[in-house]
Amino acid sequence: MPRPKDNVALVCDIGELAGLFEKSAHIEDFLRNAASIVAYHMKAAVCSIYLYNEGERALVLTANQGLNPDAVGRVRLQPGEGLVGTVFSEQRPIREASAARNPRFKFVPGTNEERYEAFLAVPIIRGLSPVGVLVVQDPVPGYFDENDSRAMQTIAAQLASVIQNAKLLMNLRRQPPEAAAVAAPPGLRYVKGAPVSDGCAYGKATVLGVFEDQGQPGPFTADDFRRALARTEAQLADLQRAMEERLADVASMIFSAHLLMVKDSEFSGQMISLIEGGLSPQAAVAKVVGEYVRLFSSSPNARLREKVQDVRDLGRRLVQNLREGPESAPDYQGRILIAGELLASDIVKLAAQRAEGLLLIGGGITAHVSILARSLQLPAVVVEDRRFFGFPAGLPILIDGGQGVVLIDPGDEVLAKYRDLRAARGEAERFAVVGPEEAVTRDGVRVHVWANINILSEIDVARRMNVGGIGLYRSEFPFLVRNDFLAEEEQYRIYRKILDGMSGRPVVFRTLDIGGDKMLSEVPWVHEANPSLGLRGIRFSLQNKTTFMQQIRALLRAGAGADLRIMFPMVCSVEEFIGARDVVSECIRDLRTEDVPHHPDPKLGLMIEVPSAVEVAEELAAEADFLSIGSNDLVQYLLAVDRTNEHLSDLYLSHHPAVLRAMKRAADACLARGKPLSLCGEMAADPKMLPFVLGIGIRVLSVEVRQIPVLHKNIAGIRIEDAVRMAEGLLRMGRIQDIKTALGA
């Protein structure tokens, strides 16, 4: 005979949970008291709380009332395993009159569970993800009814936030077990992410942001520490010097924060006093680094917040130098770095420290950090799986940045294949033939294939490939990496090197395109609620005329005697283009008055990357000397899909009918006005889109340098007549799926 229950009372009186905090000595105690309350109100013999542990990928019995107390912390179930695991993975309640009759039931020995028949379990869900399972059991078969099930779901919902917080705190206190440090989370063997930066890389995993010191304390003294400090300083100075030579435009004083901290007597002084007070040098480094990280990350000053990664980096280097002899290289050599958000400067620093590759959690292929990784030839993959944040340090990973594949702890056979592939690629690069300046279609139509470059060092490669010109130089990269504005003189030197490097061939300099995902800290728009729709691109330049004029003057001066072309980003109206052109005219007048050598009449163009520019494309074409479609943004703004949001990558579709029709309108407008149109977004390198692009009349494609040889080959396989027919067919289609099928995508 079922006993009367007061579910409703429980739901109403859940306020008594607050009292539980006072009664509980610690978190585990709190959870056990919560289980007792639920058991009491449900009049059930047993109540259990299982919490999901991401590191172990298992549901752990964390609190219990009525079962063998020794089972707590011991019983573990995989998602999908047993009834509890099923409730978790399918996120639905399970109610059984007699649990053992359900084929999914899994008896856990040593719990005393065998005495209970009736079973009711509900998932504990936070947001959209389950965090655990709440279970009640009773010896009376059929004891729980539908009403109980509803009540338990309500209880689970009410408990969810408290339980999740308890879980977070418990995990914070718990040191990761040594053994877990070398095992991949179950099921995490092969992950398909997004290809971001081509190249295969193999190395030991290092999660950035986790201060990793796995070695034994070691018998180090304060003198050992001082030697490590000196070694660290010398290495950083060398690194900085090497960078000044290799990446002059973006790496100017890039390790200055590291160097200053090493020199800071507060920083190293604190470490020394701790060591002299009896702490091991490693513990002293970890303690001071931890304090600085806390200090920096909570600072209201954006500049200080950005230094968090630098401090950690420095701590790692110091400990490494303590452990290893003077000949060791405490760089990231042999490491695949796992990271969430990274700044442009971080990417440069990681590349400088010889990281093998990057596994980025979140972010899109067209995000500027991804673009920079490609420019630096740092293989990278973007994944969505946040479990990588808890990835065990030191476990080997293989990434294929061209395919977007991540292999965890690959076997010898896979590694051998990877080594062959790498060797073959190295050979291919060494013997890469110098291509022709222009590509030619099967029926003899010439197509200009130009290069997009972001950093100065890419000019060498572009030259080796004999490119006809630079179709897009993203001038914001030195600003982004430096996280600051560059003076006219500094800009002049960079621009001059680019133009000299191209020996008279055209170079399209795009003026500063900051804003959106390309932020500089400490500038007024940092607090914009919606940066992609904020003060971005030409809007910023027009509102900050001094900065704009410095850039235009630097360009005009560098462009004296060269084929200088200037292009404005994110233009929304004819007025914006004319406003920008007026600034150029003003700068030319000033330079003439000052008698400074300059380009007197550069070609001026604009990017078509917002829908409003498409609408007024004909009027814009009437004013400008050339136009260029920036498909990365055009797709983003036409479809209202954030280009950096990996969760929306399925909606970010270059072949959407709206995108095709917008491009066709822009192409027709340029044709009508006799103005050249190029395409410089990622779409230009997409072989599936190529016939369409050529079919609507675009004859200048600008792509990343390494994509050039393949693009030449793809162009050579196309007949313009077929491409035109295909484009016409696609433009008649109104459905994404039809276009996708027609493209064979």
Q: Which residues are catalytic?
A: 368, 680
**Window 531-590: residues binding ligand PEP (CB under 6 A):** none
**x-or-dash pattern for ligand PEP, window 474-493, by CB under 6 A?**
x-------------------
**x-or-dash pattern for ligand PEP, window 591-610, by CB under 6 A?**
------------------x-
By CB under 5 A, name the binding residues for Mg ion. 609, 630, 633
Confirm if 194 and 382 have CB atoms less than 8 A apart.
Answer: yes
Strand, coil or helix: 57: coil
CB nearer to ligand PEP: give 124 or 607: 607
The answer to whether residue 370 forms part of the interface with ligand PEP (CB under 6 A) is no
Helix boundaries (H) for 470-563: 476-482, 488-501, 538-543, 545-558
Q: Which does 631 bind (CB under 5 to 8 A by kind): Mg ion, ligand PEP, none?
A: ligand PEP
Q: Which does 599 bind (CB under 5 to 8 A by kind): Mg ion, ligand PEP, none?
A: none
Q: Write down the least CB distance from residue 467 to Mg ion, Å.
A: 21
Q: Write down the least CB distance from residue 512 to ligand PEP, Å.
A: 11
Exactly one of 93, 203, 401, 681 binds ligand PEP (CB under 6 A); that residue is 681
Q: Write down the least CB distance from residue 511 to Mg ion, Å.
A: 12
The answer to whether residue 632 forms part of the interface with ligand PEP (CB under 6 A) is yes
Q: Write down the least CB distance from residue 569 to Mg ion, Å.
A: 6
> What is the number of alpha carbons within 13 Å of residue 498 lying toward its C-beta?
35
Q: Which does 282 bind (CB under 5 to 8 A by kind): ligand PEP, Mg ion, none?
A: none
Radius of gyration over alpha carbons of the chain, in Å? 31
For 513-547, b/e burial (b = at least 16 CB within 10 A) is bbbbbbbbeebebeeeeebbeebbbbbbbbebeeb
CA 353 to chain centroid, in Å, comes to 19
Interface size with ligand PEP, residues (CB under 6 A): 11
Q: How many CB atoms lie within 10 A of CB 170?
A: 17
Q: What residue is closest to Mg ion based on CB? A: 633
452 to 26, 366, 456, 703: CA distances (angstroms): 58, 13, 11, 5
Q: Write down the least CB distance from residue 478 to Mg ion, Å.
A: 17
**x-or-dash pattern for ligand PEP, window 275-294, by CB under 6 A?**
--------------------
Exactly one of 633, 646, 686, 704 binds ligand PEP (CB under 6 A); that residue is 633
CB nearer to ligand PEP: give 85 or 605: 605
**Which residues, in sequence order, are CB contacts of 658 under 8 Å at separation 6+?**
638, 639
> What is the number of alpha carbons within 13 Å of residue 704 lying toward its C-beta?
21
Query: d(Cα 232, Cα 294) in Å, to the nearest integer?
Result: 23
Q: Which does 559 bind (CB under 5 to 8 A by kind): Mg ion, ligand PEP, none?
A: none
Q: Which does 680 bind (CB under 5 to 8 A by kind): Mg ion, ligand PEP, none?
A: ligand PEP
What would the 3-class secondary structure string for 473-488 be?
A: EECHHHHHHHCCCCCH
**Secondary structure (DSSP) of 326-354:** TT---SSTTEEEEESS--HHHHHHHHHTT
Q: Write down the least CB distance from residue 574 to Mg ion, Å.
A: 19
**Window 607-626: residues binding ligand PEP (CB under 6 A):** 609
The one segment of 74-82, 456-464, 556-564, 631-639 that binds ligand PEP by CB under 6 A? 631-639
Q: Write down the least CB distance from residue 689 to ligand PEP, Å.
A: 13
The answer to whether residue 511 forms part of the interface with ligand PEP (CB under 6 A) is no
CB nearer to Mg ion: give 609 or 646: 609
Exactly one of 538, 680, 685, 708 binds ligand PEP (CB under 6 A); that residue is 680
Q: How many CB atoms lie within 10 A of CB 303?
A: 13
**Which residues, in sequence order, are CB contacts of 298 under 8 Å at separation 6+?**
none
The answer to whether residue 631 forms part of the interface with ligand PEP (CB under 6 A) is yes
Exactly one of 366, 475, 678, 714 binds ligand PEP (CB under 6 A); that residue is 366
What secondary structure letter does DSSP report for 607?
E
Amino acid at 240: Q
CA 515 to chain centroid, in Å, comes to 17
Would residue 384 be called left, alpha or beta, if left means φ above 0 and alpha means ψ between -120 and 50 degrees?
A: alpha
Q: Write down the least CB distance from residue 518 to ligand PEP, Å.
A: 8
CB nearer to Mg ion: give 401 or 630: 630
By CB under 6 A, name the binding residues for ligand PEP: 366, 472, 474, 513, 609, 630-633, 680-681
